[in-house]
Amino acid sequence: MEPRPGDECCIRRGNPAIKEGMTDEPAPTAAYYRQIAREIREYAQDAHLPEVRRDLLDLAERFDRMALYVEKRDPSRGRIPRPQGQPE
């Protein structure tokens, strides 16, 4: 799949661009989301406009919440556990 406009940031980070449909690639880890949150906070420190700083800090908070969500998943399977009685 050819990169789309805007995918450059993902490629620079060494992450494949989001693909359509499901893939066999491993899901990002909580550590990955926390690292992105830290980087966004660094950008926020350099922001001159209060609105931009606030937006970046809000975005960093969302990445922290994604990290918490990942941590709450079933660690032995690495994905959200299915309700009991549902097939794999």
How big is the chain, counted in residues? 88
Q: What is the pLDDT of residue 25?
A: 76
Angle 29-60-36 (CA atoms, 0-180°, nearest 5)? 40
Segment 20-55, tens digit of pLDDT: 566 777 778 889 999 999 999 999 999 999 999 999
Q: In this structure, what token pair is assigned to residue 11?
A: 């490629």
Q: What is the pLDDT of residue 28?
A: 84
Segment 48-85, tens digit of pLDDT: 999 999 999 999 999 999 999 988 884 633 444 445 55
How many Cβ atoms sit within 10 Å of the Cβ of residue 43? 14
Q: Where are the domains of the chain?
A: 27-72
Q: What is the pLDDT of residue 29?
A: 87
